[in-house]
Every structure is written in C-alpha cells, then in structure tokens.
Chains A and B, each alone.
Chain A
C-alpha cells in the first residue's frame, strides 16, 4: 500500500543461508521501519530509520540481523545464517515526519527449511 514495494514477496531458503529482503519506497517518506510478524502473532519491531539520524536498532533480535538504507530511499534487511525461527512475514513501512502514521507494504514471507 501507499507506494511501498517489497521484494521478493516470498522467499524459501535453507537453514544457514543468508537472505536479503528489499524495500523500495516512494520518495518523500523520511521514516522507514522494518517489522516482522510470525504466524498468528503481533508485530515485532526490528529497526527504524528517520532521515539522516542514526537508526534505532533496538528491535533487532540478534547480530545475524542487519539493515541499511542507502541514500535515504531503498532499504535492505539482511539475515545471516538463517534459522527456522526466522520464518515470518517481514514488513516494511514508511512515514512522513516524526509524529505521523506509517504505511505498510505487503511484506516478504520468509520460510526457512
């Protein structure tokens, strides 16, 4: 929704492999979030980028997870040495300003086998 494109839409990977998930936002959105949602569960915050400020990485579950946002636009979330518990839908969301709502993409469904 609202111009948030995530790729791939589905990813199946073998345990131990690295994966890279991508979020392509439309311009003008200074805030970018990554969340994940396990089956039937709520939203787990992962990382937040706001403009040129240092990202809030407080939600990353382990050092296997990292994310970057290049040039204030495209963001990639990388999971190294994937584990089965990493299986979830990974959601990217965009916002304008510092006190406004965020609009979510359709997510990437990651399955680690």
Chain B
C-alpha cells in the first residue's frame, strides 16, 4: 500500500538557519502530496501542497517540490524563526477510495 517516510526528529536549529525535512513516498499512480504543521497545543493545519510532478508548493516561506523521479517532497525554508517550532507531517492522497496517508512527523525546535 501507499506509505510516507520522513526523517525522524527532533530537529533543533538556531534562528535563521536553513531547514530541510526529508520526505519520500511509495505509491501507485499519481498522488497529491502535502505538508501539514501542528503548532504546540494546536490542531493540524495544511501548510502546502503539490498535485503533480514538478509542482512546487509554498507558504509562509516554506517550499516543497514534487519530485516523481526520486519520489520525494522535501520541505525547505531558508531562514527559520522561533515561531516555526512545531511538528511537521508529510502526507499523500491517492486517487480513488483511499485514505490520506501520513508520515510519523518531525518535531522542529528553533532556538533564539
């Protein structure tokens, strides 16, 4: 079945550092790919998405490019802030009657 693998955390960075959180997937067909974020004490929010190969999703300074050749959707941000501290989840949704599949999440802590 479909699956998502993302790098395990926790990841600790200093403010203004460059962030990469790796995400790879296994799926048949052409799934849509997503990054969700969960800030401390809050619910899950959609951060960005890409629906086809070579699409780039972006939001709040975060970017991820749908790479079909490497089955990856790595999350990047050029300069992180303390307010970016959260848990980040990579997810995919295939067409048809299949559920949204999540990775295990990566906890990011940004220190001033």
> Interface of A with B (CB < 8 Å)?
1, 33, 35, 42-43, 45, 48, 50, 53, 56, 59, 91, 93, 95, 98-107
At the interface, is chain A mostly helix, strand, loop or mixed? strand
- Which residues of A sit under 8 angstroms from B105, Cβ to Cβ? 42-43
- Which residues of B sit under 8 angstroms from A1, Cβ to Cβ? 43, 45
Q: How far is the CA of A91 from the CA of B102 in the complex (A)?
A: 13
Q: Give 16 CB contacts A-B under 8 Å.
A: A1-B45, A42-B102, A43-B44, A45-B101, A50-B97, A95-B100, A98-B93, A98-B97, A99-B31, A99-B93, A99-B95, A100-B32, A100-B93, A101-B100, A104-B36, A105-B43
- Which residues of A sit under 8 angstroms from B36, Cβ to Cβ? 104
* Cβ-defined partner of B100 (8 Å) among A102, A105, A106, A107: A102
Q: How far is the CA of A102 from the CA of B100 in the complex (A)?
A: 8
> Chain B, 17-55, contact with A by CB distance < 8 Å: what is the 0/1 string?
000000000000001101010000001111001010000
Check A45 against B99 for contact (C-beta < 8 Å): yes
Least CB distance from A55 to B in Å reads 9
Q: Which residue of B lies closest to A93 (CB)?
A: B100
> Interface of B with A (CB < 8 Å)?
31-32, 34, 36, 43-46, 49, 51, 89, 93-105
Check A101 against B93 for contact (C-beta < 8 Å): yes
- Which residues of B sit under 8 angstroms from A91, Cβ to Cβ? 43-44
* Cβ-defined partner of B89 (8 Å) among A43, A50, A105, A106: A43
Q: How far is the CA of A91 from the CA of B34 in the complex (A)?
A: 18
Least CB distance from B89 to A in Å reads 7
Closest 5 CB pairs of A and B: A48-B99, A42-B104, A104-B44, A42-B105, A43-B102
- Which residues of B sit under 8 angstroms from A101, Cβ to Cβ? 32, 34, 46, 49, 93, 100
Q: Which residue of B lies closest to A104 (CB)?
A: B44
Q: How far is the CA of A108 from the CA of B29 in the complex (A)?
A: 34
